[in-house]
Amino acid sequence: MSDAAVNMPFSEASANSERTGKMVLYFGIFSIIMLFAGLLSAYIITSYSELWVNIVVPRAFYISTGVIILSSVTLKLSLNASKKGDRKTTSLFLIITLILGVVFGAFQYQGWNQLLSAGSYFTGSVDNLSGTYGDDFTITYQGKELIYENNDFYFPNDELREKPLRNEIAIFGNSAGSYIYLLSFVHLLHLVGGILFFIVILLMSFLSVSKTISPKRLRLGAIYWNFVDGLWIFLFLFLLLFH
């Protein structure tokens, strides 16, 4: 009876601390959602401008999407092991989650290189595009998807190819490329935040006497990580639909 009386205040304090942590975390997540909502709104509005480059999503982004989904699976396994008090398995799957997070970043970087190889730069113009038309990108100009023939661009109704458009459209910037870099980079920064958080709680567990990862911190980190995971899946699908 006395033990219960002694332990109850500690349990309540721990529960209150976790609730406070969740409130702060949810506020941060809401702020991130608002940030990306603004970026995506700007993306959609810009896509209806006079000229828009329809960029095919880099193949590396498909792989990175699979990797980040897998990382949520390994993190779930870490949480399950933590509930069972299995310290070694908890740490093992958390370390695997961190490795997968780094692998995700590596494939994002590879995706940027694929964009660069196709001439899509962060501040590039239409004239920089060097990929295969139709495979890597297409161009919509004045509401019409252009035809590419004889190293030049034409309106689809210009059947005799009398009015080449390369010089006319060369002055336009490649806004689509800029948005893809920006969206994926800002997302990656938030993922790095999750990686750093998990590294900290791993180090804290190794330095502690019990060598145990804090279940509360692990749960809070999992909420953030799964949010960032879901955010990338949403961004990836968005880019597939509005490329």
Domain 40-49+56-127+174-241 of CATH type 3.40.50.620: no
Average pLDDT for the chain: 90
Amino acid 20: pLDDT: 83
Q: What is the pLDDT of residues 178-229, one digit of tens each?
A: 999 999 999 999 999 999 999 999 998 888 767 788 889 999 999 999 999 9
Closest CA to 53 of 150, 121, 152: 121
The domain locations on the chain are 40-49+56-127+174-241
pLDDT at 8 exceeding the cut of 50: no
What confidence score (pLDDT) does residue 12 get? 66
What is the tens place of the pLDDT at every residue in 27-78? 999 999 999 999 999 999 999 999 999 999 999 999 999 999 999 999 999 9
Decide if pLDDT at 2 tops 60: no
Whether residue 87 is predicted with pLDDT greater than 80 in this model: the reply is yes
Please determine, for residue 5, whether its predicted confidence score (pLDDT) is greater than 70: no
SS3 sequence of the chain: CHHHHHHHHHHHHHHHHHHHHHHHHHHHHHHHHHHHHHHHHHHHHHHCCCEEEEECCCHHHHHHHHHHHHHHHHHHHHHHHHHCCCHHHHHHHHHHHHHHHHHHHHHHHHHHHHHHHCCCCCCCEHHHCCCCECCCEEEEECCEECEEECCEEECCCCCCCCCCCHHHHCCCECHHHHHHHHHHHHHHHHHHHHHHHHHHHHHHHHHCCCCCCCHHHHHHHHHHHHHHHHHHHHHHHHHHHCC
> CB–CB of 242/43 below 8 Å?
yes
Residue 61 CA to residue 181 CA, distance in Å, equals 12
Considering only 9-13, 18-22, 26-30, 154-158, which range has the smallest mean pLDDT? 9-13
Nearest Cα to Cα of residue 184 among 62, 48, 95: 62
Beta-bridge mates of residue 56: none
Q: What is the pLDDT of residue 9?
A: 55
pLDDT tens column, 128-179: 888 899 889 999 999 999 999 988 999 999 988 999 999 999 999 999 999 9
Of 26 and 210, which is predicted with more confidence? 26
**pLDDT greater at residue 2 or residue 88:** 88
Q: Which of 60, 177, 183 lies closest to 120 in space, CA to CA?
A: 177
Cα end-to-end span (Å), the chain: 64
Contacts of 179 (CB under 8 A, 6+ apart): 39, 42, 43, 46
Residue 168 has a pLDDT of 92
**What's this model's pTM, rounded to 2 decimal places?**
0.89
Pairing of strands 137-141, 144-145: antiparallel
Mean pLDDT of the 118-123 span:
88
Nearest Cα to Cα of residue 75 among 56, 55, 96: 96
